């Protein structure tokens, strides 16, 4: 192989990283710190023992267990 056929991978990776950083900056909200704080506060909200989805899953599981038990008893 001749030296003219050499591809500069480092330069391409560097320029790709610069493009990705620019795209990320353009997609970020103007108040990204406030957005991050709100997302963290939402994530840290206390979780009740039975939230809506958990309670529904519990009721469905209990109904299946109860039905299976009644069929076994009969």
CA separation for the pair 16, 28 (Å, rounded): 18
Average of per-residue pLDDT values in the chain = 84
What long-range pairs does 32-38 form, CB within 8 A, spacing at least 24? none
Q: Which residue has the higher pLDDT, 11 or 51?
A: 11
Yes or no: say if 22 and 28 are a contact pair by the CB < 8 Å rule: no
Higher pLDDT, 52 or 33: 33
Selected residue with higher pLDDT from 50 and 20: 20
pLDDT higher than threshold 90 for residue 66? yes
**Residue-wise DSSP of 7-44:** --HHHHHHHHHHHHHHHHHHHS-TTHHHHHHHHHHHHT
Q: How far apart are CA 59 and CA 50, in angstroms?
A: 11
Q: pLDDT tens digits for 9-30?
A: 999 999 999 999 999 888 887 8
């Amino acid at each position: 192989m001749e030296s003219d056929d050499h591809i500069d991978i480092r330069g391409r990776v560097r320029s790709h990283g610069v493009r990705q950083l620019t795209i990320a900056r353009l997609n970020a909200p103007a108040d990204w710190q406030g957005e991050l704080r709100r997302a963290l506060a939402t994530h840290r909200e206390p979780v009740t023992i039975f939230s809506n989805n958990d309670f529904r899953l519990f009721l469905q599981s209990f109904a299946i267990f109860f039905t299976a038990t009644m069929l076994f008893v009969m």
